[in-house]
Structure 1
């Protein structure tokens, strides 16, 4: 079984990966874990510190090959507003409840919750069930939350 001790951010490596590992958002914050690849192989991820992986990041195997991290489709609500100000208000209400949210220019994605759906609809939002990869914004207090590639150089943890 191969081990992984380093990684590279999405877009930094142009060579195709040898395989992929697909994980939902809550399982992409990792330090040490046995990962099951799409081809059935297993690899041991063993980093010095926990990392929040994003869709497209690459795990570097001992032999130099890479495995791409993919965000798994998840059951989400797509929240749309009447206008940009309304979208900001909806984002505020979600943030006030400390909910993970992927905030985009014309919509917000959140994990499905029927109570939150009712609240959002009561606030005038259009809420639609969708299945998509989820990459929520991380709060300011998460050490690796922003996944700041610049502060760690090339992420070599050998």
Structure 2
């Protein structure tokens, strides 16, 4: 069985031998038996659990790279019309300890949870439910997430 033992950051490799499409909750793994998109099995065998990002590569022991693709999921994009409301909504969403993706322009993307959506709409935010890839923030102490920390996208004031 093929064995993937290292992660290559997105954009650091050119050739791929296969792809694997995974939902956000399936992209946080250390050791797991998986199938690539063609159905061929491989073993993900990493030294530590890592949040895999869309475009990352899984380096195979015998050579080759399996590219990771973010699956389309039911998500909700949250947008606010002021910095004050954005801060309030972000605090309340963060207080629920749910995975969050920060969007360009300062919006938030979360999984489409009806209770959470009712709460943020009640606070005055607008919510758009749709299907899209979901790449939540990996956390401040995840070294893989910090390698490609984005530049600030919005400056208020």
TM-score normalised by the shorter chain: which range applies?
Answer: 0.7 to 0.9
Secondary structure of 2:32 counterpart? strand
Specify the alignment match of 1:31 in structure 2. 30
Instruction: Tell me the CA shift for residue 115 of structure 1.
Output: 1.2
Structure 1 residue 138: Cα displacement:
3.0
**Aligned partners of 1:84 and 1:106 also within 8 Å:** no
TM-score, with structure 2 as normaliser: 0.85
Conserved? CA contact 1:52–1:145, under 8 Å: no
Relative distance call for 1:119 and 1:145 in structure 2 (3 A) is farther
Q: Against the structure 1 CA distance between its residues 40 and 114, is the aligned structure 2 distance closer, same or farther, given a 3 Å change threshold? A: same
- Runs of 5+ unmatched residues, structure 1: 151-158
Asked whether the 8 Å contact 2:31–2:43 carries over to 1, the reply is yes
Q: Equivalences for 1:96-115 in 2 at 5 Å?
A: 96-104=95-103, 105-115=105-115
* Residue number in structure 2 paired with 1:124: 124
Size of the aligned set, in residue pairs, is 147
Displacement over 4 Å in runs of 4+ = none
How far off is 1:52 after superposition?
A: 1.4
Q: Offset at 1:31?
A: 1.0
In the TM superposition, 1:6-155 aligns within 5 A as 6-13=6-13, 15-104=14-103, 105-140=105-140, 143-144=141-142, 147-149=145-147
Structure 2: 5+ residue runs without aligned partners? Answer: 149-157
Cα separation, 2, equivalents of 1:139 and 1:92: 16
Q: RMSD between aligned alpha carbons?
A: 1.8
Question: Quick check: 1:75–1:132 contact (8 Å CA) kept in 2?
Answer: yes
Calculate the TM-score normalised by the size of structure 1: 0.85
CA distance in 2, matches of 1:5, 1:99: 29
Higher RCO, Cα 8 Å, sep 6+: 1
- Matched residue SS, 1:76: strand
